[in-house]
Amino acid sequence: MTFNRAERIQGELLKLGIKVAKRTIQKYMRQARKSPSPGQTWSTFLRNHSSDIWACDFLPVVDLFFGQLYAFFLVELGTRRVVHFGVTRHPTDEWTAQQLREATAFGAGPKYLIRDNDTKFGAKFQKVADDTSIKILKTPIATPKANSICERFLGSVRREALDHFLIVNERQLGRILKAYVEYFNKDRPHQGIGQAVPEPKQNRSNSEGKVISFPVLGGLHHRYERAA
């Protein structure tokens, strides 16, 4: 069988004026069989279906008194938009399921949802996903790159917000994250989507008028708009 395929390849090459021995062709055919079978890679799948994929993850936060807090985020891959977030000291399966339920209210939701193998994603979380026809995609163990967009977002949250504050309690953390998420969604340019913002405003094209700066998170960041 291999010999016949080698002959056919030899014939095609001869049509192009290329003379190669059948043994040489068979040698490279054996090497090709050892290579991974051609198929859709994970990165290709994410790129092709980004508009139908959300990703979620937890960000652990230590407060001023060395207590443990957790922030949970859902991110839409195609737009980089933060769809939903929540803060808790007790991230149970029931609490996590409620976050997904709130994010998918009124029938809104993705076709796929990427998550890791954390035990916080249990049977109740899975049931909410099943009830809303969401297919869960679990990332392999110890492979953060499989959820790279969400991981990069978590890094941005730390560097651009949480590293600059002393966190006292859940309420304060929630206020900080609410302000940052609004800035992230509506005013922060993203390289991954061509320097656009996830939720562009209608007046972005206005090129006249004085530029006004508005402080975000006490001046840690700024958003800019043209005066009307």
* Nearest CA-CA partner of 105 in 150, 74, 59: 74
Beta-carbon count within 10 A of 41 CB: 10
Only one residue has tokens 């230590």, namely 62
% residues pLDDT > 70 (the chain): 91
Residue 114 exposed, middle or buried by CB count within 10 Å (0-12, 13-18, 19+): buried
Residue 61 lies in a domain: yes
| Structure tokens belonging to residue 172 | 């304060």
Q: What is the pLDDT of residues 126-169, one digit of tens each?
A: 999 999 999 999 998 888 889 999 999 999 999 999 999 999 99
Most confidently predicted of 79-93, 135-149, 203-217: 79-93
Residue 55 exposed, middle or buried by CB count within 10 Å (0-12, 13-18, 19+): buried
Residue 223 lies in a domain: no
Same domain for 11 and 114, yes or no, is no
Q: What is the pTM of this model?
A: 0.79
Tally the domains of the chain. Answer: 2
- Cα Dmax for the chain: 77
Same domain for 63 and 20, yes or no, is no
Same domain for 88 and 145, yes or no, is yes
Q: Which residue has the higher pLDDT, 205 or 155?
A: 155
Out of 46-50, 68-72, 177-181, 183-187, least confident range: 46-50
Same domain for 74 and 95, yes or no, is yes
Same domain for 19 and 93, yes or no, is no
**Angle, in degrees to the nearest 10, between helices 22-34 and 2-15:** 120
Same domain for 52 and 98, yes or no, is yes
The one-letter code for the residue type at 176 is I
Residue 114 lies in a domain: yes
Same domain for 107 and 193, yes or no, is yes
Same domain for 114 and 138, yes or no, is yes
What's the pLDDT score for residue 10?
Answer: 83
Same domain for 123 and 23, yes or no, is no
Same domain for 30 and 51, yes or no, is no
Structural domain for 90, as ranges: 44-200
Same domain for 168 and 186, yes or no, is yes
